[in-house]
Every structure is written in C-alpha cells, then in structure tokens.
Amino acid sequence: MSNRNIETVQVDLGERAYDIFIGAGLIEQAGERISAVAPGSRMAIITDSNVAPLHLKTLTASLDKSAIEWIVIEIPAGEKSKCITCFGDVVEQVLAARLERGDCIIAFGGGVVGDLAGFVAGVVRRGMAFIQIPTSLLAQVDSSVGGKTGINSPHGKNLIGVFHQPVVVLADTSVLATLSKREFRAGYAEVAKYGLIDRPDFFLWLDDNWTEIEAGGPALRHAIAESCRAKAAVVAADEREHGSRALLNLGHTFGHALETAVAYDSARLVHGEGVAIGMVLAHKFSNRLNLAGPEAAETVVRHLKKVGLPTSMAQIPGTLPPAEQLLDNITQDKKVTRGTLNFILTRGIGQSFIANDVPASQVLGFLKEELSR
C-alpha cells in the first residue's frame, strides 16, 4: 500500500480519533485500508446512480482482493434522496442483508450519500461502524468530516439526524476529474469558506491558485488537505456544535433557506451554490450592520465570480418566495436557539464570528432589499 503523494489529516477525538487520507488512487487501496480499521467486517456500500456506473467496480474489486464481503444499496442521485422515504428503504435493505452491529456502512458518493448513509449507520442496531469514501469535492472537504449526518424535511435542510463519526475517510482526488464543472465549483465554495472563516492567508492563496486547483494535481490535494485540517481542528474543539463549531456554518443559514425555497431542486440550486450566495449575503449583512466595510463583500463577490459561482439570489432560476417566507425558512434552521436568530457574521476577510440574537426585523429588511436587486 503506497503512501507516496497521500496526505493524512487526523481528527483528534480521543478513542474515536480517525484519519482522513487524501490523494489519488485511494479507492484502489480501499480494501487494504478498510481491513486495517474494520477487520472481519461485512460491508454495505451505499452509493447513488451517478457514482455507481463510474467507480463501483473499482471499489468492489479492491474489497474482493482483501476478501471483504459486501452488498450494494443504490439510491437515486440528488438532494431529494435525503428524505424519510429513502432513509427507511435503505434501513430495511441493511436489515434484510442481516448485517450485524459489528459490520460497516460505506458511504460511497457525495454529500447526499454521506449524510444519508451516516444517519443509517448511526441508528441501525443503535450504531454501526461507518466509513466515508467521498467522491465529490464538497464531500471531501466538508460533509465527510466531522460526523454530522442526516436527512431533510419539508420544514428545512438536515433537520433530522445524529452525530456519528466515521472510522476512516478515504478522499480519492482522482475521482474528482469525473465531476462536472458545476459540481466541482459548488464544492469549491466550501473550500473558500475555510479561508473566509479565520484563515485569510489561505483565502489569498486560493485566489492566486484557483486555476491550478481546478486543473487538479498538487494544488488540489493541498486545498483539500488544508480544508480538512481546518475542519478537523474545529471538530476536535467542539464536536457537537455547542460553540465554535458553528463558525463552519458561514453562509449556510442563508444558503439552507434558499435550498428549502427551491424544494431542493438541484436544477435550480445545489448546496455549494447556496453556500456561495449565502457567504456573500453574510458579508453584505455584516456591512449593513456596520460590522465590516463594503470591501469585504466586494472581495468575496469578485473571487466567487472568478471561479464561476453565483453570488446573488437573482441568479437562481425561477421565482423565489417573498422575504417573509425566506425568513420563516431561516427560523426553522438549526442555528436558531430558543427562537433567537444566530448568524455567522464577519468583521472582514477571515474574521468571522458567532452573532447571537440578531433581530429578525433587520434580517427581513435585508432580504427584501436583496430580493429587489
């Protein structure tokens, strides 16, 4: 098993610590690496209709080489699979296969698959081991790390779920070449987020190296590794989001409200695009509250436009609901505490902070103004 050109990031959670391996060819090494953390376990591979035709044979061949038994559960690709109905169907298939508590669930796909599979692992037989093999940039830098799992409700995104950490993450950078430009750039929004939270030097590096990141190779691996290091540090300090981990939600409160508004229709908006627009809105709202100068929002807009991401609600196809409905979506979000609105705001690039008890009236006025643009 070659470790050349493979970077390792550890998520330090004591006895539940695990490694994130980042580099090309990791799916071909999956059997050997999984045997090291889950010897003798059977696997339920949860994947989707986009990933399976492209990469499933490579994964199963690697498992076969290591004499690991497996079954495959395939779900329809897309955000709409993160629902109660699909969750229940997957649970029944895992149980029908007679997988035991000591066996494993493999999440083999993007963020939707990872969130759903992790939730299944977290509740079946009161908790099964869970392995992340993320195949999208968004999943490799964000959703596969940190143990947040769950599904959506008509009331909002990710409102049903549990914290359940994986035992290992295998982020194979070579599979990212099969992503569409839209999906790759949507994942990149989460990479930029880490710079905008508290790593201004990383944001500047991203701005200078964007073309090399999109081209793949060492710059891409470095961007993923730095993103994972940033998230791993936050998760180790605040695993269940009682404090500083909330900073990782920069752009997400607005973004989730927009995803709910389009009924999770990926033709109109995918998660990373919602985050990109949400990060712009967070910087603009910070300026409106006199917390940051206008140049911060202008810098974010300029960078996201350069990489081909949307930066305003006007760029979402179709009609959006009125500001009152968007505010209602925000109040259903997990970032609400006892009815008060919590936002991640900023004092400038890389200077984000948690703002508690933001007046709903100011949010409503801001949304009305942005919708009118």
Q: Which residues are catalytic?
A: 126, 148, 190, 231, 241, 245, 249, 252, 256, 271
Tokens 């143990």 appear where? Answer: 147
330/363 Cα distance (integer angstroms): 10
What are residue 129's DSSP bridge partners? 104
DSSP 26-40: TTTTHHHHHHHHSTT
| Cα-based angle 199, 200, 203 (whole degrees, multiple of 5) | 95
The 10 Å Cβ neighbour count of residue 35 is 16
299/297 Cα distance (integer angstroms): 5
Residue 211 contacts residue 361 (beta carbons within 8 Å): no
What are residue 133's DSSP bridge partners? 108
DSSP H stretches of helix in the chain: 30-37, 51-65, 84-96, 111-123, 137-138, 181-198, 200-215, 218-237, 252-261, 271-288, 294-306, 323-331, 360-371
Q: Which residue in 87, 92, 108, 126 sits closest to 43, CA to CA?
A: 108
- Going by C-beta distance under 8 Å and a sequence separation of 6 or more, which residues neighbour residue 100? 42, 125
